[in-house]
Structure 1
Amino acid sequence: MLDHFPFYLALLLAIVILIMTAKKIKVAYPVLLVLAGLGLSFLPGIPNLQIDHELIFVVFLPPLLYEAAWAISWKELWRWRRIIGSFAFVVVFFSALVVALIVNRCIPGFTLPLGFLLGGIVSPPDAVSAGSIMKFVRVPKRFSCILEGESLLNDASSLIIFRFALITVATGQFIWSDAIVSFGWMVIGGIGIGLAVAFAFKKFHKYLPTDANIDTVLSLVAPYVMYLSAEELHSSGVLATVSGGLFLSTHRHSFLSSTSRLREHSVWESLSFILNGLVFTLIGLELPEITRGLDHEGIGLGTAIGYGLLVTFVLVIGRMISAYSAVIITLIARNFITVADSRHPGFKVPILLGWCGMRGVVSLAAALSIPVTLADGSPFPQRNLILFITFVVILITLVGQGLTLPYLIRKIDLPDMDHALTEEEEDHRIKTQLSAFTLAYLKEHYGEQLDRIPVLQDLARKLHPKNADEAKAMTRECVSIYKDMIAKQRAWLIGKNEDEKLLDEDIIRKHLLRLDLEEEKLKYL
């Protein structure tokens, strides 16, 4: 490990440069990272990386799921629960079934259990890929929420399929009654364990003498405790992490101080950035190890690529069919039950929803977790081919769909049926109403103090409707001048600290921190 430390350090630096490049050329960074990893794998002298699936499942997956659960809106998740649930569970099961049937007929030696094993591996789309693309193009909020919600839950359903298929291949039998009981425990137990652990952490935060640093450390530990607790009890660690993360995210303002919330936000942004960058680069670097395994099974590279293209085609078409089916079912169901939105979404939406099916880290981790041998010591059937097909699916969907999705989004130009106002107009409306509410509260509860305290009078004047638009007048020119003023203040403080040798530097640092906060505040005006 230490021998390769300079390589890993250089890899981290390369990831940062690639992500900056991706932002510059407006390409989703997972696409660039996978291609870069693939290119690096062919360079002489690159260490032979063998990714342990536990590295991804235990080290990478819990914090990435937890961070995604904190970022998503529970209100939106509940509003679109039917379509999210159908894509996260029904569509995943449908995709796995179609893949199983096709590969059973088209690939020699692929039994139905092996087909379901492959289907469970490649059926869940990746959250990070679609989310990174959405940053470059504007889409309706409902669309991004559906994609985010689906990606939070589909990992659990796909891994459940994967587990049952793995047991069937290893034992040669599938007992429906046991499978139903196990499935129920994995879902109900996973959610229950996640909520129980989250509730305990909430009490730790609330009643123990924590500070911002301790709160941040607890937030880093929480997803691992949720995931490992559920896995130890043979339940779904994914559902435990997601449900626990959602619970703590929804109640964050009741047990975390503002300092802790700001500190955690910064730490988690950086951690998520590093983990996502590493995992997508490692996908590309894994290719040589995967292709070497094909030689042992006597499968030609061209044949294996053909199988990978076939499975990718099946997944894309299957998701398209599922998206159109969801629209049709919604149109029928609105006549009998209340749906989130009974308006016709149009037939362009399913095309876009169907095309947002990029595969990623969970698929690779699941494929790598297939044991090399069975219990009797014989080689696990088709393991290397499954690994290679998984890699081809990830590469084609990430690069092909990832590069074309922004163009497709702009071409279709989805209307936002939920919001008549633009985001800027909505922001101004809330800001104006908040100022009016605050001014009324101030006059009602602190009227006497308002008459005699000048600072409160200045605050009331700023909150008055005539002056509430002050922030709105902060044009780019004003922001530029304000930043220049802050820069000059910062330079003056630094100079003052150097000139006065006896001046307490902690006082200067406090003022410098205030300027940093003031400059950061400009981003939200």
Structure 2
Amino acid sequence: MHSLLPFLLAMIAVIVLLNMFAAKLKIAYPILLVVGGLVISFIPGLPVIKIDPDMIFFIFLPPLLFEAAWKISFKEMKKWWRIIGSFAFLVVFFTALSVALVTNYYIPGFTIALGFLLGGIVSPPDAVSTGAITKFVSIPKSTATILEGESLLNDASSLIIFRFALVAVGTGQFVWQDATMSFFWMVIGGAGIGLLLGWLFVKAHKILPTDAPSDIALTIIEPYLMYWIAEELHSSGVLAVVAGGLFMSARRLKFLNSTSRIHAYSVWESLIFILNGIVFLIIGLELPEIIDGLKDDQIPLETAIGYGVLVTGILIAARMISSYAALVATVIFRPSVQPHASSRKRRWMMPLLLGWTGMRGVVSLAAALAIPVTLSNGEAFPHRNLILFITFVVILLTLLVQGLTLPYIIKRTQFFDGIFNEEDEESTRKKIKKDLKLHMHQFLKSKYQNELKDNAGMEMFLKHWEERAKATDDSWMNNKTKTIFIEMLEIQREYLSELNKDPKINEEIIRQQLYQIDLEEERLKMI
């Protein structure tokens, strides 16, 4: 333990340094973390990291999924639910099936069950990698929502495939009737358990006399409880965390105060950054041990690399085929919602670009490491080291090849220019601010008309409230005006919440305005 702790602290320091270096180079930090982990793994004398396969999901997945569910806009997800749903479920199954059939044909001794197991591991694109890569280029919010929503839900569908395949490999049989019933329970039960627990957690935050530290501590515990309870009931812990996280995210204004929301944002951002960094670094650190396992299985390294390249090609091809199939289906059945491009050629080139966004990462590694070392009868799990190596190659190739070229392709081709008809964000933000000022002016005039007379503080509210953060003298802020001020902030939140129901308004802009209101309330508490 004394030798491992300094190593873990050094890992976090390396993660921070590589992230700063990646920002300077303007490339996604997961790419440098994987390469950095690979380089560090060759340093002699480093302690070997051993993670219990049964614990890998439980340690990393709940907080990562919970935070992703809080960040994404559920309103935007509903707008694009067809394409998100098809990519999150149908495309994942098609990809896993393609991997299963090809690997069963080309890899000696690789059964269909093992193929589905590998397909379930490598089929879900990674939201962290995609987000880190696309932040250096300008893409429409709708496209980002589709990619984030797909990455959030396809984790659940791919892990369901992984679980069934794991059972089939262990038992040597697959009963369709039992699998169908189990599948529906995992999906419906997982979502239901997540919603129920999310509702209970919201009630608990409201009833208990919590402060910001306790609120934040509870939000860290809650995803683990959702995942653990769902798994204990043989349902999908991933879906439980996603459903519960979306439920709680939509009600964050009702059960968390401004202090808790502001502090939680910083705490969760740091926590998720460290967890992601550790996982991507482990990807590189694990390679030498995986290669030793291939030698024990007498599989030549060049052969294993060839299998990894083959699977990577299948994943890219399957995603592109699915993207074109989705566009064709949209053109035929839903022509009113198809993307608007400046030319027919650019419209039909879009699926090619979307197919290039399937970088793999955290979930794929976690699933691969979760494969048990032995079967229930004590025999070694078949081809475990080969599956781990193929997963590593897939993650490395998709991050390096697709991750490094995607920003260049987007900038060079300008595919996204004019494809999505969205209102300009800056003009929307200015309009919302102007509407807020008018709304607050009307509120003050209607409710506090008597107090406005000969009251310097109230006149300041009415005429210059938008400049209040710049005021150097806060002596006018007595208890009465402070109470009214806080009421004004709450009225603004209610107004923005109502405004968010407009499907044309980007929820990200609304959240930015709400965050500014939270900051203003915190400033007020310090006066």
Q: TM-score range by the shorter chain?
A: 0.7 to 0.9
> SS of the residue aligned with 1:347?
helix
Q: How does 1:392-407 map to 2 (within 5 A)?
A: 392-407=393-408
Amino acid of the structure 2 residue aligned with 1:29: Y
In 2, Cα distance between equivalents of 1:416 and 1:449: 51
Which of 437, 441, 444 is the matching residue for 1:442?
A: 444
Aligned to 1:427: 429
Check the 8 A contact 1:373/1:379 in 2, yes or no: yes
Amino acid of the structure 2 residue aligned with 1:140: P
Q: How does 1:87-98 map to 2 (within 5 A)?
A: 87-98=87-98
Amino acid of the structure 1 residue aligned with 2:407: P
Pairwise CA distance, 1:421: 4.2
Most deviating of 369-378 and 3-12: 369-378
In 2, Cα distance between equivalents of 1:406 and 1:422: 22
Check the 8 A contact 1:197/1:244 in 2, yes or no: yes
The count of corresponding residues between Structure 1 and Structure 2 is 471
Aligned to 1:72: 72
Pairwise CA distance, 1:352: 2.0
Aligned to 1:25: 25
Aligned to 2:2: 2
Amino acid of the structure 2 residue aligned with 1:443: K
Check the 8 A contact 1:72/1:145 in 2, yes or no: yes
Aligned to 1:158: 158
Q: How does 1:362-377 map to 2 (within 5 A)?
A: 362-377=363-378
Q: How does 1:275-424 map to 2 (within 5 A)?
A: 275-334=275-334, 340-341=337-338, 343=340, 346-413=347-414, 414-415=416-417, 421-424=423-426
In 1, Cα distance between equivalents of 2:422 and 2:434: 18
Aligned to 1:242: 242
Check the 8 A contact 1:316/1:355 in 2, yes or no: yes
Which consecutive unaligned segments of at least 5 residues does structure 1 have? 475-481, 487-516
In 1, Cα distance between equivalents of 2:158 and 2:185: 15
> SS of the residue aligned with 2:48?
coil
In 1, Cα distance between equivalents of 2:244 and 2:224: 11
- In the TM superposition, what whole-angstrom CA distance separates every residue of 1:478-498 from its partner, at most 9, and x where no partner exists? xxxx9xx99xxxxxxxxxxxx
TM-score (norm 1): 0.86
Check the 8 A contact 2:331/2:338 in 1, yes or no: no
- The change in CA–CA distance for 1:412 and 1:54 in structure 2 (over 3 A counts) is farther
Amino acid of the structure 1 residue aligned with 2:436: L
Pairwise CA distance, 1:341: 5.0
- The change in CA–CA distance for 1:355 and 1:418 in structure 2 (over 3 A counts) is closer
In 1, Cα distance between equivalents of 2:426 and 2:305: 48
Pairwise CA distance, 1:411: 2.2
- The change in CA–CA distance for 1:420 and 1:355 in structure 2 (over 3 A counts) is closer
Check the 8 A contact 1:121/1:390 in 2, yes or no: yes
Q: How does 1:119-268 map to 2 (within 5 A)?
A: 119-268=119-268
- In the TM superposition, what whole-angstrom CA distance separates every residue of 1:230-249 from its partner, at most 9, and x where no partner exists? 01111111000010000000
Amino acid of the structure 1 residue aligned with 2:5: F
> SS of the residue aligned with 2:51?
coil
Task: Establish whether residue 453 from structure 1 lines up as the match of residue 469 from structure 2.
Answer: no
Aligned to 1:513: none
In 2, Cα distance between equivalents of 1:253 and 1:340: 32
- In the TM superposition, what whole-angstrom CA distance separates every residue of 1:156-208 from its partner, at most 9, and x where no partner exists? 11111111111111111111110100000000010011111111110111112
Q: How does 1:492-507 map to 2 (within 5 A)?
A: none
In 1, Cα distance between equivalents of 2:66 and 2:418: 29
In 2, Cα distance between equivalents of 1:51 and 1:189: 29
Pairwise CA distance, 1:371: 2.0
Check the 8 A contact 2:197/2:226 in 1, yes or no: yes
Amino acid of the structure 2 residue aligned with 1:429: K
Check the 8 A contact 1:50/1:286 in 2, yes or no: no
Check the 8 A contact 2:339/2:419 in 1, yes or no: no
Check the 8 A contact 2:198/2:244 in 1, yes or no: yes
Aligned to 1:58: 58
Aligned to 1:462: 464
Most deviating of 158-167 and 301-310: 158-167
Check the 8 A contact 1:22/1:32 in 2, yes or no: yes
In 1, Cα distance between equivalents of 2:325 and 2:64: 30
> SS of the residue aligned with 1:426?
helix
- In the TM superposition, what whole-angstrom CA distance separates every residue of 1:129-154 from its partner, at most 9, and x where no partner exists? 00111221110001000000011111
Which consecutive unaligned segments of at least 5 residues does structure 2 have? 473-518
Pairwise CA distance, 1:377: 2.5
Check the 8 A contact 1:348/1:412 in 2, yes or no: no
In 1, Cα distance between equivalents of 2:103 and 2:411: 35
> SS of the residue aligned with 1:230?
helix
Pairwise CA distance, 1:401: 1.0
Check the 8 A contact 1:190/1:230 in 2, yes or no: yes
RMSD of the alignment, in Å? 2.1
